[in-house]
Structure 1
Amino acid sequence: MSHRIGTEQLARPAGDAAGPTPRRSALTSAKNALDRVLSWVCVVLFAALVLDVMWQVFTRQVLDAPSAWSEELAKYLFIWLGLLGSALVFGERGHVGVELLVQKAPPAVQRVLSLTVQTTILLFAVVALAWGGWQVVDIAWDQKVTGLPFNVGQLYLALPICGVLTAAYTLYHIVRIARGDEPPYEPDAEVETV
C-alpha cells in the first residue's frame, strides 16, 4: 500500500546542501501551493458539510420542521469534498496500491511500472473525469436543483475540476519519477506478506 511521500523530503537530492535546482524548486513550489489551496478548500467544504448536517438535524429533531434545502446541499457538498479530496490524495501519492511485487523488482522495472501506473491514472483523469465530467456538466447545465440557487451542471463541475487537478498532480509525479527525483514507490513502505 502506498503512503504519503513528502515533497519537502524529495525537493533536495541527497548530499546537495545548496538546495534544489531552480527547475525542481519551481515545480515543487507550484505543487505545494496547489496542495495548500486544495487542503483549505477541503477544510471549508468539510466544515460547511458539518454545519449543514447539524442544521438539518436541528430543524428535524428540535424544530420538527425539516429544512427542505439542507439535504440537497449535504449531497453536493459531500460530492465536492470527495472528489477534491481524492485529487489531493493523488497529489500525495496516497492512493491504494499493491506494491509487493514492485518492491522486489529491479529499480529499472520499478520505474517503468510506476510510470505505467501514473500514465494510466493520467488517462483516466483526462478521459473519464475531465472530458466525461465536462460532458455531464454540459448535459445537466440547465437542470434546476430543488431548494438551492444552483443548477445541476454547476454542481457537477466537481468532476472536470477533479480530473484537471488529478491530471496535473499525475504529470508532476511522472516528471519527477522519470527524472529520478522521486522514487517509484515509498521505500520505507511496509511490505506485508501472506
Structure 2
Amino acid sequence: MAPALSRILARADQGARLLVMAGAALMVAVVSAQVVMRYVFNGSFDWADEASRIAFVWTIFLAIPLGIRDGSHVGIELLVRRFPPRIQRLLARVMNGLAALMLAVVCVTSVRVAQMTWSERLGSVDLTSSVFFLPVILGAAHGALHLIDLALNPRDPAQ
C-alpha cells in the first residue's frame, strides 16, 4: 500500500472505529432511556426515535469500510476459488476496482441528494434531513479508498 494512502486509511479507520463505538453506545443509551421513560414513568422523549435512528444509520454506514478492510462482508467464491491464484488476483483487482467505482458513484449521488434536501428539517429534532446522507457520503468515500487499495494490492488468494 502506498505510504500516503496507508496513513489516510489508518486515520480514517481509527476515526470510523471511534464513531461506530460512540454511535452504538448512543443507540443503547437512548433506547434504554426511552424504555425506562415509557414503562416506568409512563412518558417518553419526543426525540428518542429520531436520535436512535440517526445513530443507527451513522453506525452502519461508517462500519461498512471497516468490513471491507477486514474482508468480512459476504462473498460468493465457489467459482473463483477453482481458478489458479494468478487469475484469482486478477479477478480480485477488477472486482475491487469496479466496486470502488460504484462507491464513488454512490458518494457523488449522495452529495447531490444531500444538497437538494439540506433545507428540509426533521420532525422532532432541529436538524437537516441530510444528516442521514452524511454517513453515506463518508462511508462510500472511505470504502472506495479501501477498495482502491485492495485493487492495487490484492490479498493472497490462500487467505
Name the TM-score, length of structure 2 as normaliser: 0.90
Letter matched to residue 136 of structure 2: L
Are the aligned partners of 2:93 and 2:152 in contact in 1 as well (CA < 8 Å)? no
Would you say how many aligned residue pairs link Structure 1 and Structure 2?
159
Q: Give 1:120 shift.
A: 2.0
Match of 1:90 among 58, 68, 80: 68
Query: What CA distance in whole angstroms lies between the structure 2 residues aligned with 1:32 and 1:112?
Result: 25
Q: Percent identity among equivalent residues?
A: 21
Query: What CA distance in whole angstroms lies between the structure 2 residues aligned with 1:159 and 1:46?
Result: 17
Counterpart of 1:75?
53
Name the TM-score, length of structure 1 as normaliser: 0.75
Letter matched to residue 153 of structure 1: S
- Per-residue CA deviations over 1:24-79 (Å, capped at 9, x if unaligned) read 55544443332222111100110011101111111111111121100011111111
Q: Where do 5+ consecutive residues of structure 1 fail to align?
A: 1-22, 189-194
Q: Where do 5+ consecutive residues of structure 2 fail to align?
A: none
Q: Give 1:80 shift.
A: 0.9
Counterpart of 2:109?
132
Query: What CA distance in whole angstroms lies between the structure 2 residues aligned with 1:47 and 1:24?
Result: 34
Are 1:103 and 2:85 an aligned pair?
A: no
Farther-moved stretch of structure 1 (147-156 vs 167-176):
147-156
Query: What CA distance in whole angstroms lies between the structure 2 residues aligned with 1:34 and 1:148?
Result: 28
Letter matched to residue 86 of structure 1: I
Counterpart of 1:148?
125
Q: Give 1:83 shift.
A: 0.7
Q: Give 1:105 shift.
A: 0.6
Query: What CA distance in whole angstroms lies between the structure 2 residues aligned with 1:25 and 1:92?
Result: 19
**Secondary structure of residue in 2 paired with 1:137:** helix
**Secondary structure of residue in 1 paired with 2:153:** helix
Match of 1:166 among 130, 143, 152: 143
Query: What CA distance in whole angstroms lies between the structure 2 residues aligned with 1:116 and 1:142?
Result: 39
1:1-194 to structure 2, matched below 5 A, reads 24=2, 27-127=5-105, 129-177=106-154, 182-183=155-156, 185=157, 187-188=158-159
Moved over 6 A (4+): none
Larger helix proportion of the pair: 2
Alpha-carbon RMSD across the aligned residues, in angstroms, is: 1.7
Letter matched to residue 100 of structure 2: L
Counterpart of 1:14?
none
